[in-house]
A = this chain, B = another copy of it.
C-alpha cells in the first residue's frame, strides 16, 4: 500500500502514518521528495481498511497496490483453468461452448422440443430456469422442482449438460441431483452467504457479473467460492447498467479480454440479457466470440411470442442455427472452434 503525504504534511503527520502502518502489520519504506513524502507499506497484513488511512492527518492519497483477490487472480494458475465435464466437454480450452435454451422451463413439450433444436445446432449445454427472480411480485415465478426433473430427463436423453439458476441457499441441495452447472445470477453476485455455501459444494458454477459490479468485485465474489475449495468457477458478462436506455443494459464486451488477463477462470458472455432485444442478440454474440470469450449463454425458445418470460430476447430456433454458422467462422479468426453437434455418450 502506498500513502502519499500532502505537500504541507508535518514530520509529526508522517510519523503518525508510519506508526499506523506498522500497527496493522506493514514494513514501511519512506521516500522523501523535494515537495512530498511517500510511504510504501510492504507486506500482507490481514485485517485493515485502506480507506482508514485517507483520513489521517497530512495524508493526500492512499493507493492499494496488491489486488484483494488471490485465488481468482491469473497468478494463481497462469496456465488458465479448464472446467471439465464427464462427457468430455471442457470450458476454457480450445473449444468455445454454447449454452442455449429458454429463459424458463414451461412444459415438457417445450423443453424437449428446444433441446433437440439447440443440440442439432451445436450447443453443448441446455439452459432453463426452474426458479425465476422477477422484479415484479406479480410475474411468473417458475416451475420449481418439476422444472428441474424435466431438465434432468431431457439432459439424460440428449447428452446435453444442464445449467440452471440457484437463488437461495435452501435450493442448493435440491438442485444438485438435477443440474451439471449451478448458475448464480447477476442479482446474487454479492449474496455472500449463498456464494460461501456454493464454495462447499463440488459442482461447477457459472457466476454472472452484477449489473453495477466492477470487474474487481466480480473476481472478489468468485474468490468467495474458490475459498471454499470449489475451483470449477466460470464467469459471465451479461451487461451493465449505464445511462443509455435504448438497450436494456450495456454489454461490456471489453470485460472479456480484461478478465482473461486478470484471472485464470473461463469467461463467458450472455448477449440475451446483455441487450434484451432479439434483433441485437446475434451481433453481440458474434462480438463476444470475436473478443475472445470461452462460451456463450443464449436464450432460444421454440415459440418466443408465447414465452412466459423474456420472449422478447429469445431467438427463434432458425435464427440460432444461422448464428452458430457465423460463430464457427469467427472462431477460426481467434484460433478457436465450435463443435457441429455434441455426440451422445
What is the size, in residues, of chain A's interface with B at 8 Å between Cβ atoms?
111
- Asked whether A256 is an interface residue with its Cβ less than 8 Å from the other chain, the reply is yes
Q: In the complex, are the beta carbons of B247 and A250 less than 8 A apart? A: no
- Asked whether A22 is an interface residue with its Cβ less than 8 Å from the other chain, the reply is no
Identify which of residues 237-253 in chain A touch chain B, using a CB-to-CB cut-off of 8 Å.
Answer: 240-247, 250-253
Identify which of residues 213-252 in chain A touch chain B, using a CB-to-CB cut-off of 8 Å.
Answer: 214-217, 220-221, 223-224, 227, 240-247, 250-252
Q: Which residue of B lies closest to A276 (CB)?
A: B51
Q: In the complex, are the beta carbons of A65 and B38 less than 8 A apart? A: yes
Residues of B within 8 A of A261 (CB): 279
- Asked whether A193 is an interface residue with its Cβ less than 8 Å from the other chain, the reply is yes
Residues of B within 8 A of A257 (CB): 279-280, 283-284
- Asked whether A93 is an interface residue with its Cβ less than 8 Å from the other chain, the reply is no
- Asked whether A42 is an interface residue with its Cβ less than 8 Å from the other chain, the reply is yes
- Give which listed residue, B227, B288, B326, contacts A333 with CB less than 8 A: B326
Q: In the complex, are the beta carbons of B250 and A252 less than 8 A apart? A: yes
Q: Which residue of B lies closest to A47 (CB)?
A: B140
- Give which listed residue, B27, B136, B311, B313, contacts A68 with CB less than 8 A: B136
Known: A167-B193, A280-B257. A250 touches B246 (CB 8 A): no
Q: In the complex, are the beta carbons of A135 and B220 less than 8 A apart? A: yes
Identify which of residues 144-174 in chain A touch chain B, using a CB-to-CB cut-off of 8 Å.
Answer: 167-170
Residues of B within 8 A of A38 (CB): 2, 29, 40, 42, 65
- Asked whether A345 is an interface residue with its Cβ less than 8 Å from the other chain, the reply is no
Q: Which residue of B lies closest to A251 (CB)?
A: B254
Q: Which residue of B lies closest to A216 (CB)?
A: B246
- Asked whether A201 is an interface residue with its Cβ less than 8 Å from the other chain, the reply is no
Chain B min CB distance to A15 (Å): 16
Q: Which residue of B lies closest to A308 (CB)?
A: B47
Stoichiometry (number of copies) = 4
- Give which listed residue, B34, B215, B313, B330, contacts A244 with CB less than 8 A: B215
Q: Which residue of B lies closest to A78 (CB)?
A: B8
- Asked whether A31 is an interface residue with its Cβ less than 8 Å from the other chain, the reply is yes
Residues of B within 8 A of A31 (CB): 29, 31, 40, 42
Q: In the complex, are the beta carbons of A36 and B66 less than 8 A apart? A: yes
Identify which of residues 53-109 in chain A touch chain B, using a CB-to-CB cut-off of 8 Å.
Answer: 54-55, 60-61, 63, 65-66, 68-69, 75
Alpha-carbon distance A52/B309, docked complex (angstroms): 10
Chain B min CB distance to A129 (Å): 13
- Asked whether A299 is an interface residue with its Cβ less than 8 Å from the other chain, the reply is no
Q: In the complex, are the beta carbons of A190 and B288 less than 8 A apart? A: no
Q: In the complex, are the beta carbons of B135 and A51 less than 8 A apart? A: no
Residues of B within 8 A of A256 (CB): 283
Residues of B within 8 A of A292 (CB): 283
- Asked whether A33 is an interface residue with its Cβ less than 8 Å from the other chain, the reply is yes
- Asked whether A127 is an interface residue with its Cβ less than 8 Å from the other chain, the reply is no
- Asked whether A211 is an interface residue with its Cβ less than 8 Å from the other chain, the reply is yes
Alpha-carbon distance A75/B212, docked complex (angstroms): 31
Chain B min CB distance to A231 (Å): 15
Known: A2-B63, A284-B291. A312 touches B49 (CB 8 A): yes
Pairs A-B, 5 closest by C-beta atoms: A212-B212, A33-B42, A287-B287, A286-B290, A290-B290
